[in-house]
């Protein structure tokens, strides 16, 4: 996903003993004193990038909270959770740092020092540059170093720079319950594995998040159960390669056979036998709460055994929506990307998925202008978009990353203006086909999980259907399908039936029919 500011949370803490007071009311320290062990330390976190970074923010926040931190609007330390997947993502952080540079100067003049930290993938990739550029950043922590944040903050208090970008072979934060940044939210992310072993030639992820390792299933089930008890109605299982999940924590399963790859797909690494796999996890998670929707992202197309597809088709609370990142429609480009499949194998998988899960909604990722991509290659991607007709798409121009195989072996030889033109063409075609796919739902009833008021109209509500498409409908009195005679108003976390009256490439609009439940709706179909 394209990097953006996903949200921000503020926390503050007390070191040592003493009564809690708002940091807004403390007197400024003398300029000669940076921090004292008994002053309050306010920390503010900003999240940029993908869902994994949102989850990382919640993990970092949980660690800080356990050390005595709590929320506030004040800030002595600002931490940016960053993305490094494309150059544009990193430029957003450099631009934000320039804004913070001015703020830091003003705080210094007021004898209120400001500390700035960079967390996540950009910290892992650019540690030296971040620390040395204008000496602006005080704290650098990679994705596997969040447990070290309290120590790093303590070092920064003394006026020194502090860094930890060590990658781990086993860190999954399995024992840390993330603290949701939106209190009372009805959707949540649950990280089930970290890192990636696929080594696609364009991708920086293996170098910023390390090798694949999975959480023990027991810890995942415990977290999902807690979220269910808190009233969360939709959980998304997260991982860089989520469906290659492999829990090796239970000895009796360590000799299990490796699952079969999707037909026509291969890997750059040897098959990994042993462990409890994604199908088992998905089965167990879906049994926790029949009123909780289950999604997962981001998968690799190679890891869709029939057991997973059958489970999605059978369980009413596993969303009938799959992300199948294609990246290109050209077999020649796919080979250069080291994706492990051809165009034909990918299309065969799409057809198999649609046969196995009738009505499934599909989304995908595409890169425009990869190394050596010709106009003919580009047109093959255009034709793939038309042939598959995705409901949701994430499309980007290629951005070469240091350390990747493409950086060392290939030439970034597609001019920037050609990349932009090809990307615009892909976006246009995607929107045309997505509009056609969504228009097929006009006249149908869709089960929608209510998220809250529409951003464009206070008189409307918005939510998402099973296929993860946004649905807009009137905020009005409606019947309850459970037999309650009194009219009700839909609230966030409610399931409602909406009859679709119009559609665009990104949104459905409709009329509210009734409030219902996930189980009741499934029983009626």
89: domain CATH number? 3.40.50.12160
Q: Which among 412, 439, 466 is the end of a domain? A: 439
pLDDT at 489 over 60: yes
Number of domains in the chain: 3
Stretch (H or E) spanning 489: strand 488-489
Evaluate whether residue 485 is within a structural domain.
yes
Tokens of 307: 């057991």
Q: Do 321 and 394 lie in a common domain?
A: yes
C-alpha 256, offset from chain centre = 30
The DSSP output letter for 262 is: P
Average pLDDT of the chain, as a whole number: 89
What pLDDT score was predicted for residue 17? 33
Domain endpoint, select from 399, 424, 439: 439
State whether 322 and 285 are in the same domain. yes
Q: Are residues 348 and 204 in the same domain?
A: yes
Task: Supply the pLDDT for residue 277.
Answer: 94
Q: What whole-number distance in Å separates Cα of residue 107 and Cα of residue 83?
A: 27
Per-residue pLDDT tens digits for 192-227: 999 999 999 999 999 999 999 999 999 999 999 999
Q: In what order do the strands lie in the sheet with 321-323?
A: 321-323, 361-368, 392-397
Quick check: 480 pLDDT over 50? Answer: yes
CA angle 179/136/194 to nearest 5° reads 35
- Using the 3D structure, point to which of 407, 439, 471 is the last residue of a domain: 439
| The dihedral sign for the CA sequence 317, 354, 435, 5 | positive
CATH number at residue 374: 3.80.30.20
| CA 480/CA 501 separation, integer angstroms | 21
Is 1 inside any structural domain? no
Please tell me what DSSP assigns to residue 260: P
387 with 243, same domain: the answer is: yes
248 lies in some domain:
yes
Question: Do residues 290 and 429 share a domain?
Answer: yes
CB 275 within 8 A of CB 325: no
* H-only helix segments in 357-441: 375-388, 405-409, 416-439
- The CATH number linked to 489 is 2.40.50.140
Does residue 489 share a domain with residue 434? Answer: no
Of the candidates 461, 415, 412, 467, the residue with the CA atom closest to the CA atom of residue 440: 467
For tokens 């994994």, what's the residue? 52
Report the alpha-carbon distance of residue 134 to residue 115 in Å, rounded.
Answer: 14
Q: Residue 114 and residue 138: Cα distance in Å, rounded?
A: 9
Query: Is 454 part of a structural domain of the chain?
Result: yes
Are 435 and 519 within one domain? no
The whole-number pLDDT of residue 268 equals 87
CB-based contacts of 413, cutoff 8 Å, min separation 6: 371, 372
pLDDT surpasses 80 at 381:
yes
- pLDDT confidence of residue 183: 62
Cα of 178 vs its chain's centroid, Å: 14
Q: What is the largest CA-CA distance in the chain?
A: 71
Residue 493, number of CB atoms within 10 A of its CB: 19
In a domain, 177, yes or no: no
Q: Which range, of 145-159, 177-191, 415-429, 495-509, averages the lowest pLDDT?
A: 177-191
- The percentage of the chain sitting over the pLDDT mark of 90, rounded to a whole number, equals 76
Using alpha carbons, list the distances in angstroms from residue 55 to 163, 181, 203, 300, 424: 21, 9, 21, 20, 31
Can you give the pLDDT at residue 157? Answer: 85
Phi-psi region of 152 (alpha: psi -120 to 50; beta: other; left: phi over 0): alpha
Residue 65 pLDDT exceeds 80: yes
Banded pLDDT at 71 (limits 50, 70, 90) = low
Mean pLDDT throughout 364-375? 98
Decide if 327 contacts 367 (C-beta within 8 A). yes
One domain for residues 429 and 354: yes
Q: From CA 65, how far away is CA 165, in angstroms rounded?
A: 22
Q: Check whether residue 130 and residue 146 sit in a common domain.
A: yes
Q: For the chain, give the percent of residues with pLDDT over 70.
A: 91
Q: CA 436, CA 340: separation in Å to the nearest integer?
A: 30
Residue 182 has pLDDT above 90, yes or no: no
418: Cβ contacts below 8 Å, ≥ 6 apart:
369
Mean pLDDT of 285-289: 98
Q: Angle, to 10 degrees, between the axis of helix 343-356 and the axis of helix 375-388?
A: 10
453 occurs within a structural domain: yes
**Per-residue pLDDT tens over the stretch 118-177:** 999 999 999 999 999 878 999 999 999 999 999 999 899 888 999 999 999 999 999 999
234 within a domain of the structure (yes/no): yes
According to DSSP, the residues that pair with 234 across neighbouring strands are 187, 293
Whether residues 404 and 489 share a domain: the answer is no
Asked whether 284 and 217 are in contact (CB, 8 A), the reply is yes
Give the span between the Cα atoms of 349 and 363, in whole angstroms: 14
Torsion of CA 486, 490, 493, 499, to 10 degrees: 110
- Predicted confidence (pLDDT) per residue in 423-455, tens digit: 999 999 999 999 999 999 999 999 999 999 999
87/221 same-domain check:
no
Q: Are 49 and 17 in contact, with CB atoms under 8 Å apart?
A: no
| Residue 11: band (very low, low, confident or very high) from pLDDT cuts 50, 70, 90 | very low
Position 383 in a domain: yes
Task: Provide the pLDDT for residue 200.
Answer: 97
Residue 366 DSSP class: E
Residue 321 neighbours by CB distance under 10 Å: 24
With a cut of 60, say whether residue 40 has pLDDT above it.
no
How far apart CA 244 and CA 268 sit, in angstroms, is 14
- The more confidently predicted of residues 16 and 49 is 49
Domain of residue 459 covers 444-524
State the pLDDT at residue 269. 85
User: Which pLDDT value is given to residue 14?
Assistant: 33
> Is the pLDDT assigned to residue 21 strictly greater than 60?
no
The model's pLDDT over 306-339, given as tens digits with 9 standing for 90+, comes to 999 999 999 999 999 999 999 999 999 999 999 9
Q: Output the 3-class SS for 419-487.
A: HHHHHHHHHHHHHHHHHHHHHCCCCCEEEEEEEEECCCCCCEEEEEECCCCEEEEECCEEEECCCCCCC
Would the pTM of this model clear 0.85, i.e. be above it? Answer: yes
Contact partners, residue 128, CB within 8 Å, separation at least 6: none
Same domain flag for 435 and 453: no
């Amino acid at each position: 996903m394209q990097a953006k500011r996903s949200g921000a949370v503020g926390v503050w803490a007390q070191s040592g003993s003493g009564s809690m007071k708002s940091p807004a009311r403390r007197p400024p320290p003398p300029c000669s004193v940076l921090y004292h062990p008994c002053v309050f330390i306010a920390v503010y976190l900003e999240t940029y990038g993908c869902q994994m970074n949102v989850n990382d923010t919640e993990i970092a926040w949980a660690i800080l909270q356990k050390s005595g931190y709590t929320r506030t609007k004040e800030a002595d330390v600002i931490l940016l959770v960053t993305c490094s997947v494309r150059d544009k993502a990193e430029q957003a952080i450099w631009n934000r740092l320039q804004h913070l540079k001015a703020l830091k100067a003003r705080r210094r003049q007021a004898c209120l020092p400001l500390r700035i930290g960079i967390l996540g993938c950009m910290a892992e990739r650019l540690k030296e540059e971040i620390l040395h550029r204008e000496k602006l950043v005080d704290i650098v922590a990679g994705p596997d170093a969040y447990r070290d944040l309290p120590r790093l903050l303590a070092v920064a208090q003394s006026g020194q720079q502090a860094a930890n970008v060590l990658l781990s072979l086993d860190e999954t934060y399995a024992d840390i319950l993330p603290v949701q940044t939106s209190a009372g939210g009805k959707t949540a992310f649950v990280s089930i594995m970290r890192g990636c072993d696929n080594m696609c030639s364009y991708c920086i992820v293996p170098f910023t998040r390390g090798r694949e390792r999975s959480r023990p299933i027991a810890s995942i089930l415990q977290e999902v159960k807690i979220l269910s008890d808190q009233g969360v109605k939709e959980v998304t299982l997260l991982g860089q390669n989520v469906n290659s999940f492999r829990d090796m924590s239970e000895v009796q399963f360590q000799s299990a056979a490796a699952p079969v790859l999707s037909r026509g797909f291969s890997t750059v690494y040897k098959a990994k036998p042993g462990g409890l796999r994604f199908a088992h996890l998905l089965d167990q998670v879906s049994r926790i709460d029949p009123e909780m929707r289950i999604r997962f992202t981001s998968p690799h197309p190679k890891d869709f055994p029939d057991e997973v597809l059958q489970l999605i088709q059978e369980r009413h609370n596993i969303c009938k929506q799959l992300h199948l990142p294609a990246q290109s429609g050209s077999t020649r480009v796919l080979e250069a990307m080291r994706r492990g499949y051809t165009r034909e194998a990918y299309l065969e998988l799409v057809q198999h998925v649609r046969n196995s899960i009738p009505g499934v909604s599909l989304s995908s990722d595409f890169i425009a202008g990869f190394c050596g991509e010709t106009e003919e290659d580009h047109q093959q991607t255009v034709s793939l978009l038309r042939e598959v007709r995705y409901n949701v798409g994430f499309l980007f121009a290629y951005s070469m990353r240091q350390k990747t195989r493409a950086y060392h072996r290939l030439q970034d030889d597609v001019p920037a203006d050609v990349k932009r033109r090809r990307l615009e063409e892909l976006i246009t075609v995607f929107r045309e086909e997505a509009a056609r796919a969504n228009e097929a739902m006009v006249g149908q009833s869709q089960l929608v999980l209510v998220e809250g008021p529409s951003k464009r109209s206070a008189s409307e509500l918005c939510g998402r259907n099973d296929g993860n498409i946004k649905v807009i409908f009137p905020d009005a009195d409606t019947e309850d399908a459970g037999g309650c005679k009194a009219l009700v108003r839909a609230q966030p976390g409610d399931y409602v039936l909406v009859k679709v009256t119009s559609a665009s490439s990104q949104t459905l609009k409709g009329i509210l029919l009734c409030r219902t439940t996930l189980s009741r709706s499934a029983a009626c179909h």
